[in-house]
Amino acid sequence: MNQPVHNSPYDAVLEVAVAAARRGAAVIREYVGQHHRVRAKTTNDFVTEADEAAQEAILETLNDATPEVPVLAEEGSGPDAYSESVDGRRWIVDPIDGTTNFMHQVPPYAVSIALQEDDALVSGVVLDVSHDELFTAVAGHGLQRNGAPAGVSDTSDFSDAFLATGFPYRRFEHTEQYLDVLGTILRDARSVRRHGAAAVDLAWLACGRFDGFFETGLSPWDVAAGIVLVREGGGRITDYRDDGSGLAPLFDQQVCATNGSVHRSLLAHLSSMKDVRL
């Protein structure tokens, strides 16, 4: 796996993020195949000792190299523990995106690390641990997969679109509405897949494997790095209202991401859910 170099002012901090992701991945691999102590944070939202150990290793690496930069991380960050805006820089970390997959030894699952600077996301790293694929991006300096340039697909017709999604799994009051939307998309697009790891879905979209991705109920650490990957891969990523300005859709709990060409079509299919948050 080549070391990514984006020839950007952020390459030094990107190197730190990559090192942290690789260290977290090494910890995760030590737990593969073991019996896990599982704690439920909310309905169908779990944390294992692997999540906690990986996060500890990741944060130690980040804090050693950038002690002045605060961290917003999944484990230990409650819904009221963070604000949208920061003055300066902030790391946003998910030690294992796809914990349920990891618990059942079903790939994919990944480490996700992003760097926010003021009101912008400036770099992103997604390390797909289960497939040993590293995706990196720096704002204005492109996307790389395993150190080589990558980009979105050229699919232009929604009937040819190969899409990814995530199912509601914590709250279910909008399930019927979601299923109606999904049914329409299944009819109109080529196919839909559900892998259970939003960071990986966004990485795979960014490098051209998927043409679009949509999900409601996501947290900032699920999507922060993926937002940078999609944008730098040449795609579009917004909420269901088509707002992709500033930090959107980082804190919006809904994501519509595409190669750009099918974005308007996917948004049209999602329009009935534009006010839904799960």
Q: Are residues 267 and 234 in the same domain?
A: yes
pTM: 0.93
Q: What does the pLDDT look like over 230-272, one tens digit per residue?
A: 999 999 999 999 999 889 999 999 999 999 999 999 999 999 9
- Does 3 map to a domain? no
Cβ partners under 8 Å of residue 86, min gap 6: 70, 116, 118
**In 3D, which of 196, 228, 242, 191 has the Cα closest to residue 212?**
191
Between helices 263-270 and 175-188, what is the axis angle to 10°? 140
Q: What does the pLDDT look like over 3-51, one tens digit per residue?
A: 788 999 999 999 999 999 999 999 999 998 776 565 554 554 557 888 9
Last residue of a domain, one of 95, 123, 150: 150
The residue range of the domain holding 184 is 158-273
Q: Are residues 70 and 41 in the same domain?
A: yes
Q: How far apart are CA 148 and CA 5, in angstroms?
A: 9
Give the CATH number for residue 246.
3.40.190.80
Residue whose tokens read 């500890």: 56
Quick check: 210 and 201 in contact, CB under 8 A? yes
Q: Are residues 115 and 195 in the same domain?
A: no
Q: Are residues 72 and 133 in the same domain?
A: yes
Q: How far apart are CA 22 and CA 39, in angstroms?
A: 25
Total domains in the chain come to: 2
Q: Are residues 128 and 36 in the same domain?
A: yes
Q: How far apart are CA 104 and CA 75, in angstroms?
A: 20
Token digits for 223? 């999507």
